[in-house]
Amino acid sequence: MEIVDPITPTDIYEPLCLEAQPNKRRRKKSIVWEHFTLETVGPGCTRACCKLCKKSFAYISGSKLAGTSHLKRHISLGICPVFRQRNLQVPDTPGSRTGGPGTATDPPKKRQRVSQGAARITFDQDRCNREIAKMVILHEYPLHIVEHSGFSDFVRSLQPQFSMLSFDTVQGECVDVYLKEKQNLLNLLSGIHGNVSLTLDLWTSNQTLGYVFLTGHFIDADWNLQRRILNVVTVPSPESDYAFNQAVMACLSDWHLEGRMFTLTVDQSLSNETVIGNLRGLLSVRNPFMLNGQLLIGNCYARVLSRLAQDALGAMRETIQKIRDSVKYVKTSESHEDKFIELKQQLQVPSSKNLLVDDQTMWNTTYHMLVAACELKEVFSCLDTVDPDYKIAPSMEEWKQVETLCTYLKHLFDAALILTDLRYPATNTFFHEVSKIHIELTHAAMSEDPFVSNLIRPLQEKFDKYWKDCYLVLAIAVVLDPRFKMKLVEFNFNKMYDEHAEPWIRAVNDSVHELFLEYIAQALPLPALEEGNEGVIKTETSQDGFQEGNLVSTVDGLSDFEIYINEITSSQHMKSELDQYLEESLLPREHEFDILGWWKLNKLKYPTLSRMASDILSIPVCTVGPDSVFDTELRKMDNYRNSLGPMTLEALICAKDWLQCGLSPSTTNTTATPEISKAIVKMEV
């Protein structure tokens, strides 16, 4: 094949015909021709040849023009081996350029085209390292994924210049992401006006280690309810009476929450009276008591519901096992299922539910299995007529009992379902829901049907204990809902206790007023109080020691006492914020009412009450995440995570939670340094 002299084009968009087109505007010469030459290899066939690696590419074939995109990629993506090698060897600094345009030692930069196209993205190894770390964190990939050959091959196919990471390097990058996000969260916590409530949840492991998850709940400066995992503390002896104290102290110190923790919610099935007493003693020293500590430690609502469901299912264990075996019989054989479906169609059973074998580690799956099976009980009862091998059908009396069981399980399921919402509801949501369950169980426990009363009475007794521990928190929260205030408390207590309701109503009313006075006694400094007129509804009448409603400091050091007296006085001259709030008309009930938005709009009208609402409405009633609400067992840490050091484990779990919450769009604008993370990793190893 004859090779002719190279041709340098003047315009890559020239028409292929030889005739000139004088009216067409000619475009500027493409930058690729500083790296390529054109060679005619035959009639109507021209190829582009790389000046560096001498590889040729299609350019013109007959009447077709291949364009220059593939030529640009050959250079800009580092596909050309000679260009890539020399580009790595010769730093791109002003003093290193010794050749002219197109020389091997210094390939010319691409000229900027303002009119079209995007600027070339420069490869950034550090940015890629951060993105891999975030990928590992968010998707819980093992850290050693970066050393897998398949992963290495895949990444190099995308970017040949990428230098693969080692296990230690990606571990350091993950800790670095954690430290940067932690600083963002510290900044967020420093900007809130209220306190932080904590939940404590325990995970176990095959090595009998305990992992205490401490999650903070608070309302931020923009009145959004926030929930963040703050610490994952490894506890060598979770059964110890002081194990939880260690974890809580670590959290309070780590996040500067001494004196700012409002309540602690735990799963009280994990602890005895000694453990709770130790926690109460610890917190009473480090945090101010509110209402004599009645709000300090709460119980996990999800765990309570789960235990009630397990007790109810356990009471009918043998019957439920019959139904489980029946479902397995149908679902584990295609021929059995075909006979079942055919019989269902013959009997014209209208159920649209699918039979599924339950997962006994999640009680809601057992509930759904029973509900579906009950709707198909006629088919199960007749199945032996078309399938003689089926001999485990429950009796009609057993089916009736299971239907009764499902009626009460539905109350528990509906109550737990609220907790699965990723947008964690404010505390006011739960008073009415918990009241409903209490009423249903109380009535069922007194049923004349011995099966119902025997089934429900043990559940009612356990739930009544939970109710007595939590009703005050839930009732105060609903009082701070302007749609209900004390009216819903009065309504529900009258339904629950009839003529004995008055002491319960009075206890809530007195507690709300006492708590309000405690918030006044906590009082802001006098200048700040004057500016916001904290807690005072002014009147036109002035008293000695006050000027036009403004508080005047005295010189005897009792200015705070004067503030306190001013707020609690029930004289004819002023009315407290709380009294005014309670006397105002209720707001219309709306399904999508934004209670936090309402308090945000009314914080100037009710400055003290709004601070109180910020703390009360963020008290968590549940210690577990939305994905664990129906669990029947404590969650276990897998063997891979067990093998990680405590710092790395905490970094991976917390950083995932923070990244998913979208605390910051970027993890680059913070003060943590790579040196810090590397030091931590080195210490851990």
pLDDT tens by residue, 14-48: 433 434 444 444 444 677 788 888 888 877 788 88
Q: What is the mean pLDDT of residues 567-590?
A: 78
Question: pLDDT: is 614 or 105 the higher one?
Answer: 614
Q: What is the mean pLDDT of residues 181-190?
A: 95
45-50 vs 36-42, strand pairing mode:
antiparallel
Higher pLDDT, 59 or 139: 139
Q: What average pLDDT does the segment 108-124 reach?
A: 56
pLDDT band, very low/low/confident/very high, at 551 (cuts 50, 70, 90): very low
CB 205 within 8 A of CB 644: no
Rounded to 10 deg, the angle between the 450-479 and 301-315 helix axes is 170
pLDDT tens-place string over residues 394-439: 999 999 999 999 999 999 999 999 999 888 889 999 999 999 999 9
Tokens of 346: 């013959």
Report the distance separating Cα 238 and Cα 382, nearest Å.
52
Residue 56 pLDDT level (bands cut at 50, 70, 90): confident
Among candidate residues 152, 176, 154, 290, the one with its CA nearest the CA of residue 615? 290
pLDDT band at 123 (very low <50, low <70, confident <90, very high): confident
Q: How many CA atoms lie within 13 A of 311 on its CB side?
A: 18
* Contact predicate 39/55, CB 8 Å: no
Lowest mean pLDDT among 8-22, 185-199, 462-476, 510-524: 8-22
For the segment 325-364, what is each residue's pLDDT rounded down to a tens digit? Answer: 999 999 999 999 999 999 999 999 988 888 999 999 999 9
What would the 3-class secondary structure string for 286-320 be?
Answer: HCCCCHHHCCCEEECHHHHHHHHHHHHHHHCHHHH
Handedness of CA 80, 81, 83, 87 (dihedral sign): positive
CA-based nearest residue to 215, from 261, 183, 177, 176: 261
Residue among 181, 214, 182, 190 nearest 200 (CA):
214
CA distances from 286 to 201, 280, 289 (A): 21, 10, 9
Encoded tokens for 77: 């993506």
* CA 6 centroid distance within chain: 63
Mean pLDDT of 186-200: 94
Is residue 174 within 8 A of residue 655, CB to CB? The reply is yes
% of the chain at pLDDT higher than 90? 59
Q: Compute the mean pLDDT over every residue in the chain, rounded to the nearest whole number.
A: 82
Looking at the predicted structure, is the pLDDT value of residue 552 above 70?
no
The CA-based dihedral angle spanning residues 563, 569, 575, 578, taken in that order and rounded to the nearest 10 degrees: 80
Residue 272's pLDDT is 83
Model pLDDT, residue 161: 87
Tell me the pLDDT band of 542, cut-offs 50, 70 and 90.
very low
Crossing angle of helices 125-139 and 167-190, in 10° steps, is: 80
In the predicted model, is pLDDT for residue 584 greater than 90? yes
Rounded to an integer, the average pLDDT of 221-249 is 93
- What pLDDT is recorded for position 346? 93
Residue-level pLDDT at 564: 64
Pairing of strands 56-61, 546-547: unpaired
Q: Taking residues 376-391, what's their average pLDDT?
A: 93
Query: How far from each other are the two terminal CA atoms of the chain, in whole angstroms?
Result: 65
Environment class of residue 70 by beta-carbon count within 10 Å: exposed (0-12), middle (13-18) or buried (19+)? middle
pTM: 0.73
Output the pLDDT for position 573: 43
Alpha helix (H) ranges present in 618-645? 639-642
Q: Express each pLDDT in 626-639 by its tens digit.
A: 999 999 999 999 99
Q: What confidence score (pLDDT) does residue 204 get? A: 92
Question: What residues pair up with 37 in beta bridges, in sequence order?
Answer: 49
> Within 389-535, where are the H helices?
396-417, 430-445, 450-479, 485-497, 501-522, 526-532
Q: How confident is the model at residue 453 (pLDDT cuts 50, 70, 90)?
A: very high
Reported as a pLDDT band with limits 50, 70 and 90, residue 115 is very low
Whether the predicted pLDDT of 102 surpasses 80:
no
| Residue 526 token pair | 């006098």
pLDDT-based confidence at residue 4 (cuts at 50, 70, 90): very low
Chain centroid offset of residue 235 CA:
24
Residue carrying the six token digits 């964190």: 137
Quick one: average pLDDT of 267-295? Answer: 83
What is the band of 658 on the pLDDT scale with cuts at 50, 70, 90? very high
- Looking at residue 621, its pLDDT comes to 95
pLDDT at 482 over 50: yes
For residue 86, pLDDT beyond 90: no
Of residues 570, 642, 190, 599, the one with CA closest to residue 428: 599
